[in-house]
Structure 1
Amino acid sequence: MDWRPTRSPEVEAELELDDVDQMLEAQNARRRASGRPERTEEDVRIQVAEDERWREELRRRARKADDG
């Protein structure tokens, strides 16, 4: 079978960035409507990094508890 993707990796990356922009704008529209401050992509990246650190800490604690 000679399957080829319908879009180039560059187009896929561009579409992903557009999706992120659209999702962030939709979230900010809701935040504006409720009087909350808008978020930037950097705000989201920082939150994701903090969440990852928190999850890693929970995994570390669980491993430590399992090792007893």
Structure 2
Amino acid sequence: MSAFVRRWSLDEIEKLKAMAGKYSREKIAAELERGPSAIAVKAHQLRISLRWKGLSDRTAARRSPAVNDA
């Protein structure tokens, strides 16, 4: 059984670079119409980090100023 391999276009690579670190692997995969694993493999080949660089909800809560309702 032979799997069909679709080549990456320069446009797709640019979108991947632009979205990496800002969106989840699943969201990037949906945008590029590829599987999450394909996104991870290509990012690794290009040495692009997919790690989200934003703040987690927990960290954001610690950094936001306290609000007093009293």
Q: What TM-score results when the alignment is normalised by the length of structure 2? A: 0.32
TM-score (norm 1): 0.33
Question: Of the two structures, which has the highest relative contact order with CA contacts closer than 8 Å and spacing of 6 or more?
Answer: 2
